[in-house]
Chains A and B, each alone.
Chain A
Amino acid sequence: MNEKEIKFLEESFKKYYFDHFDLIHVPERTSEREFGYQKFNSGMARHISLKDDKELHLLLMQNIPSDVYCSNAYYSFPNLSMKEKDWKEADLIFDIDAKDLHLDCRKNHCITKCNECSQISKVTDVCQKCKSTKLETKSLPCNNCIEASKNEVIKLQNILVEDLGIEKNNIHVYFSGNEGFHVYVYNSQFQEVGSRERSELVDYIMFKGAIPETFGMKKIKPNRASFPNFEDKGWKGRFAKEIFGSKSKRSKVISELISVGYSNFQKNLETLSGKIGAQIDPNVTMDIHRIFRLPGSLNSKSGLTKIFCKDLKTFDPYSDSSFLDENSVEIKANCPVEFKLRKKKFGPFYDEQITVPTYAAAYMICKNLATIY
């Protein structure tokens, strides 16, 4: 990104922060959190502690960060080095990202940009112009991506409530501002558990590491009665619903399962993980020292806001998270994929000089698909 684009984004971001203080708040137990931020084209500043909203707003106005972060962990001394912080506990947190779902639609809305000659094209392994393989991929997620991600959030919520005993009002879902959702769990029995324990929770939620015996299958003489039932709680019930399809097929399917044998059953379980397990990013949940994008702040990958989803079903990220202003900007856009913001369609643009509202211009500039004219 060049100076002109950075200046434009900084001005737009600053205006957003000034106009929308109501959307950006420090989390509870502020003084125990670590904050961090990044400026355009510069490194990360971490180990910052803040007292209240006022200090946060001051930081935003003084530094005009491209991204702002806050820990899910609570520390005695959040502003000291990692070793000296004295970790106390951390909210349980999950990241669901459309790019991890390997959806078929992605090839339609991913763009590769050549780092050598700046050629922009639909997804490819080699630059069509200069044959370079140094490519960077940008995605302009579609509705299908969002619906699929929402579906994973719902799977996760069900497991959290039914199996892990989390109260529904302690689960908060945020749109990340780009391609996915962040799910926060507050005040649970897991606040104080460490990384290894969280990793076990991840395997549970993703349905990983299951053994056939858990679902009634044995190497020798499996007993039909020990296979799961439709009414069973937890994974047994979900397994039954997925594998049997309907109650009436249970008996028939069990016969099939027994006849194909133990090791095939094990393989089945592994395949099932991709279907019935919630597709979360394991590293994010296991890391108890990470800092996360602060709700209400802008995502510099899109110019959209990370925002709380009051009602996930009706939530439309591309209108509900777009807050930059409408002032017209002249840009040169090279964005071969159509996208929609605030219910308005934009593009495709093929190296065109166009005039668009700030929020759309910022979206393309953040993705490196446009320059200020």
Chain B
Amino acid sequence: MITLGKDEIAKYPFLADAGQYLKDKGFTLQQFGKDPDLKLSVEKALNRVQVSADGKIYKSDLIDGEASKDYVLEREVFSFLLAIVLLKLTGMSTLIKRFSLAEARRAEKYLERDLANITDESKKELAVRIIDDLFSIQIKKLDDYFIIPISNYLTHSINFHEREWKLINRHVENGFVFLTPHETVRLIRKELGNYINSKIINAKTPSMIPGFEEPVAKLVSLSKKFVTHSVTTGEYPPCIKHAIEILEKGENLPHSGRFMLATFLLSRNQTVQQIAPLFKNAPDYNEKVTLYQLNHLAGTSGSGTQYSCPSCEKLKTQNLCFPVPECNTIFNPLQFGKKERK
């Protein structure tokens, strides 16, 4: 991975290894909950999340072009790392998504400035390396432009609808597309957001830290604004509800859990197309693979046999069972809520 200087890590804090950074600075999360000076960083972190939830970009204390004071840089990184801790404790995927997008937009500005920097070659090189390391796009400087292989360009540009991004409206020469620093960075906006998002999703959720309760509570109530209504209709058994919740939070549901959920919904006559969107929040979501797997389970492809929902007993061994009293009389989730057979 890339080694970063102090001011660089403040600009691109998502490149830092969160736990290691705090350790290196000699701090623990518990101290941030107690120490009145450090608590300022928690407030900054809360603000950073709140601003992003509003769809705005957090205004940092960094002053471009001037060497900021060390403690300013440090606080900047802390507030980012603590924001992630708060988000993990809150556990709402919508807040994480909004935060990731806002942070991506913020980093975009720095990337653009670094790419365009003609006085400091190392700044430009760092930006070029970040783009290569994170998104495997090899950009090269050529006169006033950055050039990128056409095939690389296309995989990103096809997601844009504006006609100016069509290849025909680009300067194309000898297998490369010519872009300005602004356009180069704009091209990877979505991926940058996804990168930050997945980094947060994959971070471990700590247990509650004394002193963090209040900001977390604020974020929980803030997130209520964004709760989307899902396909959860009708009375589902608790194991199924639990699995849907996990997916909605954008957390990882083990393969056995996905199998249970898909086979259950298929048996309830939901279609593959209705079920697939449930998995959209999963950190490793891939539409093609998901549809393929669902079709396989539904028996519409491959062997042609439809798989059935596993028994309660099996689910217990897989730690997927969260029984309620009503579960006592059934041996398969499909029987949940149905009258007992005579």
A complexed with B: yes
B172 near A213 (CB under 8 angstroms)?
A: no
| Interface: A126 (CB within 8 A) | no
Determine if A200 is an interface residue (Cβ-Cβ < 8 Å).
yes
Verify if B5 is at the interface (C-beta below 8 Å from A): no
Cβ of A184 within 8 Å of any chain B Cβ, yes or no, is: no
Extra A-B contacts (14), CB below 8 Å, given A165-B173, A197-B155, A211-B164 = A83-B292, A163-B173, A165-B174, A189-B150, A190-B151, A196-B158, A200-B158, A210-B166, A210-B169, A211-B163, A213-B169, A233-B173, A234-B171, A236-B171
Task: Tell me the residues in window 199-229 of chain B with beta carbons closer than 8 Å to chain A beta carbons.
Answer: none
Contact B164 A204 (CB under 8 A): no
Within 8 Å by CB of A83, from B154, B155, B173, B295, lies B295
Partner of B150, one of A165, A192, A210: A165
- Specify which of A162, A197, A235 lies most central, judged by the most chain B CB atoms within 10 Å of its CB: A197
Q: Which residues of B contact A234 (CB under 8 A)?
A: 171-173
Interface size on B, residues (CB 8 A): 24
**A201 at interface (Cβ–Cβ under 8 A)?**
yes
Smallest CB separation, B60 vs chain A (Å)? 34
Does chain A have a CB within 8 A of B157? yes
Q: Is the CB of A235 within 8 A of B168?
A: yes
A-B contact pairs, 27 of them (CB 8 A): A83-B295, A83-B301, A163-B173, A163-B174, A164-B172, A165-B173, A165-B175, A189-B150, A190-B151, A192-B151, A193-B151, A193-B155, A197-B154, A200-B154, A200-B167, A201-B150, A201-B167, A203-B167, A204-B166, A204-B167, A208-B168, A209-B166, A214-B164, A214-B168, A214-B169, A234-B173, A235-B168
A210 contacts B158, CB within 8 Å?
no
A214-243 to B contact mask, C-beta < 8 Å, 1/0: 100000000000000000011110000000
Task: Name the A residues within 8 Å of B169 (CB-CB).
Answer: 209-211, 213-214
Is B175 touching A210 in the complex (CB atoms < 8 A)? Answer: no
B195 on the A face (CB < 8 A)? no
Q: Is A318 an interface residue (CB 8 A)?
A: no
How distant is A55 from chain B, measured CB to nearest CB, in Å? Answer: 27
Of residues B158, B164, B169, B171, which shows the largest number of chain A Cβ atoms within 10 Å of its Cβ? B169
Chain B hits for A162, CB < 8 A: 173-174
| B176 within 8 A of partner (CB) | yes
Interface residues of B (CB under 8 A from A): 149-151, 154-155, 157-158, 163-164, 166-176, 292, 295, 301-302
By a CB distance below 8 angstroms, the chain B residues around A200 are 154, 157-158, 166-167
Total count of chain A residues near the partner, CB < 8 A: 29
The answer to whether B151 touches A210 (Cβ under 8 A) is no
Q: Which residue of A lies closest to B159 (CB)?
A: A196
B175 contact set on A, CB distance < 8 A: 163-166, 189
Tell me, yes or no, whether A281 is within 8 Å of chain B by CB: no
Is A136 an interface residue, CB under 8 A from the partner?
Answer: no
Most chain-B CB neighbours within 10 Å: which of A207, A214, A236? A214
Known interface pairs A84-B302, A189-B150, A197-B151. Does A165 touch B168 (Cβ–Cβ under 8 Å)? no
With an 8 A cutoff between CB atoms, is A81 at the interface?
Answer: yes
Q: Chain A residues with Cβ under 8 A from B170's Cβ? A: 214
Is A189 within 8 A of B151, CB to CB?
yes
Interface contact B163-A163, CB-CB below 8 Å? no
Smallest Cβ distance from B273 to chain A, in angstroms? 16
Considering only CB atoms, which chain B residue lies closest to A87 in the complex? B288
Give the residues in chain A near B292, CB-CB below 8 Å: 83
Chain A residue with the shortest CB-CB distance to B170: A214
Minimum C-beta distance from A170 to chain B (A): 12
Q: Nearest Cβ in chain B — how far from A198, in angstroms?
A: 9
Across-interface contacts of A83 in B (CB, < 8 A): 292, 295, 301-302
A207-B168 contact in complex given A200-B157, A234-B173, C-beta closer than 8 Å:
yes
Contact B176 A203 (CB under 8 A): no
